[in-house]
Structure 1
Amino acid sequence: MDRSTKIVATIGPASSDLATLTRMVCAGVNVVRLNFSHGKAQDHSDRARLVREAAADCGCEVAIMADLQGPKIRVGKFEHGKILLEAGAKFVLDAECELGNEQQVGLDYKELPRDLKPGDILLLNDGLIVLVVDAVVGSAIHTTVKIGGELSNNKGINRQGGGLSAPALTAKDMEDIKTAVALGADYIAVSFPKNASDMIMARQLANIAGEPQQRKLLMIAKIERAEAIPLLQEILDASDGIMVARGDLAVEVGNAAVPALQKRMIKMARASNKLAITATQMMESMIVNAVPTRAEVSDVANAVLDGTDAVMASAETASGKYPVETVEAMAAICLEAEKADVCKLDTDFLNASFSRIDQSIAYGALFTAYHLRVKAIVALTESGSTTLWMSRHSIDIPIYALTPSIATLRKSALYRNVRSFELVQSGESKDVLQAAQNLLLEKHVVRPGDLIVVTWGEPMGQIGGTNSLKIVKVGAH
């Protein structure tokens, strides 16, 4: 795989058969997203098994990301399924209403009335419908339609500027975390976190669920609330990565603010040694069309140039007509964008500071590889931390994680510019180094005579023990 940027694909009705899923993985999917907003626990478990089977058929490891539903603030159901709202009309959102009509509709989130005051702007159906709050009387929110349109069952509600008090983790999410651990997920994406506490709670719940198997899932914070933006650094510190969730975020902060926020978030994630995923509507037209628009091509390419670890497909691969073609198109765009990416490794190190031996070895490997122009950077790693640190810097030399841990193989599937292979690491370091060379030769990564930079820990097999760096001429004993 020459591509550095990874691809996250959501699976759903269009991609839940083994044949399609295998084609998608072989086309370049690195991480499969299970959307817990839809389906039952058994559905997700069945799909997880298919993912593992498809990955085995393609001869690779794929990470599984369980994406929690979070507090979906939605309208209720309508008597006839949908209505048409006219601009200037009066409309009531009533927590006590059973079935909606042209005058009123119920609320899934019964606490919404207490969060609102006259003058607040409500955005429905991803911002396509705009209501202005006139008054809140008991359980009823009286509004005037500013921008009308068709409103159907269970469409989402946002308040412009954010500020709704719904907790990030619902009772359903807490059960879904247990399901995610049980089915062997590698990542959990937490929807609508407002602060670090939301992420800490999610991690604690996952750690408790994973304790019997000694499994620790990595936590991704989906940034989609306006109030998360000022607290981005504390959320990053409490997470393993973030998702630039541009749908709900755009509704709360405005479409025009999102591109600059995307760049800022990716930059902050990399500086904090965290992961970044760019998501929402990246290839939206491919839900129904076999080729993307020029704007979508530019959108994916710009995310790559911003330094994102991964680009994500949602409905395009879950329910669209062309799931495989979507992955193929994303992979091709990423490859072309990476060719234009300028390597600025030295400037990355100007203000770098570190206190850990293993982190200093990772930086040393990057610096040496860059100036010697070696063929590959090779990390013999248990936890994958060394390769994560390396992958936070733009370098046009591939990084290889050789690890005995299947969990590390899978989670590093999301790391930008990192490829992973399984390698048992026991015995003397010289024997393991030779085994690493043999594996890279077998995989056609290197040829005899190539220079590589290798990092490892003495004694072998210790987590967090990377303390050695060696420049190796492949084939030389």
Structure 2
Amino acid sequence: MAGAAAMSPPASAPIRVDSSSDIDATSYEEHASAQQQDATTTTTTMPAGGHSPNEDYFYSSALGPRVTLMPSFRRSQGELRTKDRVQSSTSLAQMRGDDVNRPSQRYQLGSILAPGSIYGTSDVRSRAYTKVSVTIGPESRSKQQLVALLEAGMNIARFDFSWGTPEYHQEAHDNLVAAMKQTRKLCATIMDLKGPEIAVHRGDAPWYEFPNLPPLEVESGDIVRLVPTIDPTDKPYVDETHLDAQLVLPLTYDKFAQMAEKGDELFIGRYLATGAETNASLYLRVVEIDGDDVICKATTSASLRGLLTVFHMERSLSGCSNAQNDLETVTDHDIEDLRAFAARNKVEYVCLSLTRSRKCIQRLRELLDSLNLNETKIVAKVESRIGLINFEEIIRASDAIFISRGNLGLDTPSEKFPILLKSMLRMCAKHGKPSLVSRVFDTMVENPRPTRAEATDVANLVLDGADAISLGAETFRGLFPEESVRLVSAIARQAEMVFDYEAEFDVVRGLQFIDDSALSRDESLASSAVKAADKLDSVAIIVVFRASDEQEIHSGRINLAQLVAKYRPRARVLALVVPTVTTENSVHYHVHGSLEAKQLSMVRGVEPMFSPPSSVYDTATTHSARMTVVKWGAPTTVQGPTAATQDEAGYLSDYSSDLATPPPPPQRAYTAEVDASSAARLQEERASMDISGGATTTRLPRMSQEDSYGNGHLEKRARDLAVQMGFVSPGEIIVMVEQLGKRHDVVVKAMTIE
């Protein structure tokens, strides 16, 4: 036995399958055994996660000749589960939703096709972990349409300001709020900025008339001249003064000729262009630069309609040699839209289009803070070569990543794009940042069913670890928006049934050792909770944590629920956000947590809950009323366009007890109107309320004993909500993770629901 022990490989040594070798299933165990014997001779010290810190998991350069892909799965500690997966005959139809994730239940073709599909089901346990983002447009903006989309599985509503006015989008947003109240379902909002986009100027026609304008017909071989817009009334026309008639397209950027070179390829397509729409996109090749004009030759035929955008495709194969336009990433137009829409509605996310570097994100962060939107998170949209080159710094500076496959696919070689996509998703997993991926169901703009390739694409994105699938033209102008959302959710859930959660845990945990020699405390506790839930066959992980205050928000700290979800647990994560009340200058009160709860709607596998007004919240409003700072139930002076009224108080009470309902209206900053006589009372109350004067912000009030972590009050509240909504049943095991103290102490414990 001693000799056998001496020959055993180190417990931390991973079994590696060389992708270049051709081995079948029968020889896999022999191959793995040989690798284990080789591991005994190595002197490399492997960390507990099973990966060497100097292993090169990611592409060494964005598009260099050597692209190294992080494997989508690895065998953990030499455990081989291939036989376990194919020997079970249990039908998926006979199991509850959580059981289908077990390794022994996968790959049973008969059971996958058995009756009882999750498609269209209302069972909360059958909800897909992967979230669905919907682009709001003419076919998805009414209250009835939004109710149907929420019922179908919409988790995120995306308002794209590349088109439309703030007033037009505000009407759709109001309809969304009404739809959430009616369905009692939570939905986050993303405001997508226009950014430094170059478009074809359509004259003085209003934007809503663009789809009704006559199409611009182009045949392959035609000459197209791109010119700067000189007059606001400039619009496309055919110049017949030349020997060959030329289509003249005025552009919204007057220095485009300085960016282009002879031989460059350009793409002009309808807003949210899809490859499935016949002749909707035009490809051009630059043949001459004539002063400020760019003369091109059409390489395809097209019939161009609607809002037309221009994309300059990168000419280099392995770098970034194109000159970039000198437009600000956040334009003056974007700033006005932010003031009119984001500040009014306190949106959860702002998406930065054509993100180029960390500096672009920092610029937007400063702007949001100046608009009192310090809790709004930033989604960096990566859709160009320069964004790929700077992807590492972009992901560190942003709160989430939007992988825009439409433009990004144009700017990268087709043969390298799949590897780049998988690597970007791996890097998002490493940093714990949510990832959204677009362009999946192009054909469903006009057809009720996706192609086989599109359905497989959605499943592969789920298996690669994407947090959310973003629908664009499918819901913006498509004929089947509700069906598109249902199908994405159904396909995602089917893919999640065969997702290798154990291997994904090992991979994500191993990724943490690339930059650090040891796990941080939060990472260690979050991963331990996930591992415990898996070992105990837990049906849910309930995470209770205090909402971040201003200081924590600016530090970029990731909350505990997001950290737990980062390790892709098999069990669903139920996140209960406990509100934090802060004060500034002794008279400005801020209730934090509602946005943070809704922001979790983007994180895969997380069901966000906002705690009902607890003793923490009630005490704040009570003290405020006594100090004449705010009279609850009556109109008050607030920082924002509207005042808090009794209607909002009713909205709080109506929806506070529901897991999946909208949280209270966005946080308000209650402003005091304190006279000289009440100033003395204010001073008397300060000690008991633990308020600091001046410009500092202090948590208010001190947490009571019953609300402290591990005490049982909030724990019981979270359990009751989970049972009430049907995520947990009596007799089932859950793992409870609580983090409420100022020092962020964490309590992890398992329990059986009684």
Is the partner of 2:450 in helix, strand or coil? Answer: coil
Distance in 1 (alpha carbons) for counterparts of 2:491 and 2:152: 13
Contact 1:455–1:466 under 8 Å retained in 2: no
Contact 2:429–2:508 under 8 Å retained in 1: no
* Residue number in structure 2 paired with 1:194: 356
Letter in 2 for 1:319: R
* Stretch deviating more after TM superposition (428-437 or 35-44): 428-437
Distance in 1 (alpha carbons) for counterparts of 2:171 and 2:453: 36
Give me the identity figure in percent.
Answer: 25
* Residue number in structure 2 paired with 1:302: 460
Change (3 A) 1:27 1:132: closer
Deviations 1:238-279 (A, max 9, x none): 111111101111222244443222211111111111110011
Change (3 A) 1:95 1:4: same
Matched, 1:406 2:594: yes
Which of 705, 712, 728 is 1:430 aligned to?
712
* Stretch deviating more after TM superposition (23-32 or 143-152): 143-152
Distance in 2 (alpha carbons) for counterparts of 1:163 and 1:58: 49
Matched, 1:173 2:325: no
Which of 222, 229, 238 is 2:397 aligned to?
238
Instruction: Kindly report which structure 2 residues correspond to 1:412-451, keeping only aligned pairs within 5 A, or say none.
Output: 412-424=600-612, 427=704, 428=706, 429-451=711-733
* Residue number in structure 2 paired with 1:90: 223
Change (3 A) 1:62 1:308: same
Matched, 1:116 2:260: yes
* Residue number in structure 2 paired with 1:320: 478
Distance in 1 (alpha carbons) for counterparts of 2:355 and 2:169: 23
Distance in 1 (alpha carbons) for counterparts of 2:342 and 2:713: 38
Contact 1:250–1:257 under 8 Å retained in 2: no
Contact 1:195–1:231 under 8 Å retained in 2: yes
| Cα distance, 1:382 vs structure 2 | 2.7
* Residue number in structure 1 paired with 2:310: 157
Structure 2, unaligned runs of 5 or more: 1-123, 206-212, 239-244, 276-280, 315-321, 548-557, 579-592, 617-703
Contact 1:357–1:466 under 8 Å retained in 2: no
Which of 559, 563, 586 is 1:389 aligned to?
563
Distance in 2 (alpha carbons) for counterparts of 1:454 and 1:423: 16
Matched, 1:348 2:508: yes
Larger strand fraction of residues: 1
Distance in 2 (alpha carbons) for counterparts of 1:108 and 1:192: 16
Change (3 A) 1:86 1:59: closer
* Residue number in structure 1 paired with 2:115: none
Distance in 2 (alpha carbons) for counterparts of 1:351 and 1:86: 50
Contact 1:18–1:54 under 8 Å retained in 2: yes
Distance in 1 (alpha carbons) for counterparts of 2:253 and 2:745: 50
Deviations 1:306-336 (A, max 9, x none): 1100001112112222211111111111111
Q: Radius of gyration: which is bigger?
A: 2
Change (3 A) 1:315 1:154: closer
Distance in 2 (alpha carbons) for counterparts of 1:155 and 1:342: 42
Distance in 1 (alpha carbons) for counterparts of 2:415 and 2:482: 31
Contact 1:310–1:416 under 8 Å retained in 2: yes
* Residue number in structure 1 paired with 2:535: 371
| Cα distance, 1:120 vs structure 2 | 2.2
Cα-Cα RMSD: 2.4
Distance in 1 (alpha carbons) for counterparts of 2:136 and 2:717: 37
Letter in 2 for 1:142: I
Distance in 2 (alpha carbons) for counterparts of 1:371 and 1:173: 49
* Stretch deviating more after TM superposition (257-266 or 2-11): 257-266
* Residue number in structure 2 paired with 1:130: 283
Contact 2:130–2:462 under 8 Å retained in 1: yes
Is the partner of 1:194 in helix, strand or coil? Answer: coil
* Stretch deviating more after TM superposition (22-31 or 354-363): 354-363
Instruction: Kindly report which structure 2 residues correspond to 1:209-228, keeping only aligned pairs within 5 A, or say none.
Output: 209-210=371-372, 215-228=374-387
* Stretch deviating more after TM superposition (248-257 or 34-43): 248-257
Distance in 2 (alpha carbons) for counterparts of 1:123 and 1:33: 24
Letter in 1 for 2:464: D
Letter in 2 for 1:193: T
| Cα distance, 1:16 vs structure 2 | 1.4
Is the partner of 1:106 in helix, strand or coil? Answer: strand
* Residue number in structure 1 paired with 2:747: 468
Change (3 A) 1:151 1:60: closer
* Residue number in structure 2 paired with 1:229: 388
* Stretch deviating more after TM superposition (180-189 or 73-82): 73-82
Change (3 A) 1:182 1:91: same
Contact 1:177–1:205 under 8 Å retained in 2: no
Is the partner of 2:389 in helix, strand or coil? Answer: coil
Matched, 1:58 2:58: no
Contact 1:361–1:466 under 8 Å retained in 2: no
Is the partner of 1:210 in helix, strand or coil? Answer: coil
Contact 1:112–1:164 under 8 Å retained in 2: no
Change (3 A) 1:163 1:258: farther
Is the partner of 1:216 in helix, strand or coil? Answer: coil
Contact 2:353–2:380 under 8 Å retained in 1: yes
Letter in 1 for 2:226: L
* Stretch deviating more after TM superposition (181-190 or 417-426): 417-426
* Residue number in structure 2 paired with 1:30: 155
Change (3 A) 1:466 1:13: farther
Contact 1:67–1:188 under 8 Å retained in 2: yes
Distance in 2 (alpha carbons) for counterparts of 1:326 and 1:437: 34
Deviations 1:84-127 (A, max 9, x none): 33444433212157342141322111111111222322222269
* Residue number in structure 1 paired with 2:369: 207
Is the partner of 1:47 in helix, strand or coil? Answer: helix
Distance in 1 (alpha carbons) for counterparts of 2:536 and 2:198: 55
Change (3 A) 1:145 1:23: closer
Instruction: Kindly report which structure 2 residues correspond to 1:354-365, keeping only aligned pairs within 5 A, or say none.
Output: 356-365=520-529
Is the partner of 1:453 in helix, strand or coil? Answer: strand
Distance in 2 (alpha carbons) for counterparts of 1:160 and 1:47: 34
Structure 1, unaligned runs of 5 or more: none
